Amino acid sequence: MDVYFLGTGAGMPTTKRNVSSIALRLYEERGTFWMFDCGEGTQHQVLRSSLKLSKCEFIFITHLHGDHLFGLPGLLSSRGHQGGTKPLTVFGPPGLGDYMKIVFEVSHTQVPYPLVIKEVDGGVIWSDDTFSVTALPLDHRVPCLGYRIQEKDRPGRLKFELLKEKGIPPGPVYGQLKQGKDVQLPDGEFLFAASVLGESIPGRSVAILGDTRPCDHAVRLARHVNLLVHEATFMEDRVEHAHEFGHSTAKQAARIADRAGVKKLALTHFSSRYKDEEQMDQLLSEAREVFAETYLAEELEAIAVDAE
């Protein structure tokens, strides 16, 4: 599991940074990736990456500002042309359905796969036996969501030596036990999965927030996550400007990470006013004064979601 950045700029693209889009790559866990926001030009960024749109399972839109949304209709259309046939669900705030309906109707766009647009305003918005996704409203100029992706605890590792001592060779029985299922052996003995499994492995978690001022819901979504992705549109000398336009500074994002007790913080959504490496180093330094495990998101690069 890792977070791959397709666009890390704010407001409008620059020659170095595209507007907002993030891929949560779950290839080992699900064989898919999930996308968060889809600003203009996102499908061009996908073409520059190893991502395949046919592998996109879900898209989560944080809010309906153009730098987070304008790339969505084109990307959904292109997915069909690139072999995407499996269902895809797009989650987002109220108004997303109207937007997509109008764009598709006016442009006569059709997609050759089941497409569901699901408007949400908070709570657990999706769950299965491996992951859950929770959304909460943030503090921006328009309705905006943050998302928490929680991997569920996994069964512990099999005690292979114990199984060998019992004379049980590798095979389907191992798979059943690994899934936590008790099995009956050929001699009639019952083998309980709990007796041959180690302690369960805690699931990893990621919080990916949309544009926001510092707020309690940001802390709630990020509580003890392995990785928090938080906007850092400005440096601290622009803190009043950030508040006026519903954004955060890098230092404010670091304070959220510190309050939430996260393992790692990735900053993104940088103002186009920061054009050189020296300015970005200063932005990072301001955040690290508060939270040491802070990193800058870079275009077409990934940050791992480590278990520890």
Active site residue 153: no
Residue the block writes with tokens 């764009």: 103
61 three-state secondary structure: coil
Asked if residue 65 belongs to a known ligand binding site, the reply is yes
Q: How far is CA 251 from the centre of its chain?
A: 22
Asked if residue 63 belongs to a known ligand binding site, the reply is yes
Asked if residue 67 belongs to a known ligand binding site, the reply is yes
222: which residues sit within 8 A by CB, 6+ positions away? 148, 207, 209, 228, 230, 256, 257, 260, 262
Helix ranges restricted to H, the chain? 42-47, 72-81, 96-107, 160-165, 172-178, 193-196, 216-222, 239-244, 250-260, 277-288
Neighbour count for residue 47 (Cβ, 10 Å): 11
Residue the block writes with tokens 């943050």: 146
Asked if residue 140 belongs to a known ligand binding site, the reply is yes
Asked if residue 139 belongs to a known ligand binding site, the reply is no
Which of 259, 267, 306 is CA-nearest to residue 287? Answer: 267
Are the beta carbons of 4 and 49 closer than 8 angstroms?
Answer: yes
Does an H or E element contain 4, and which? strand 2-7
84: which residues sit within 8 A by CB, 6+ positions away? 53, 54, 56, 112, 113
Q: Which of 67, 98, 139, 258 is catalytic?
A: 67
Amino acid at 88: L
101 vs 61: CA distance, rounded Å: 16
Asked if residue 217 belongs to a known ligand binding site, the reply is no
Strand order in the sheet with 265-268: 123-127, 131-137, 145-151, 205-209, 227-231, 265-268, 294-296
Binding residues: 63, 65, 67-68, 140, 211, 269
Binding residues for Zn(2+): 63, 65, 67-68, 140, 211, 269
| Active site residues per annotation | 67
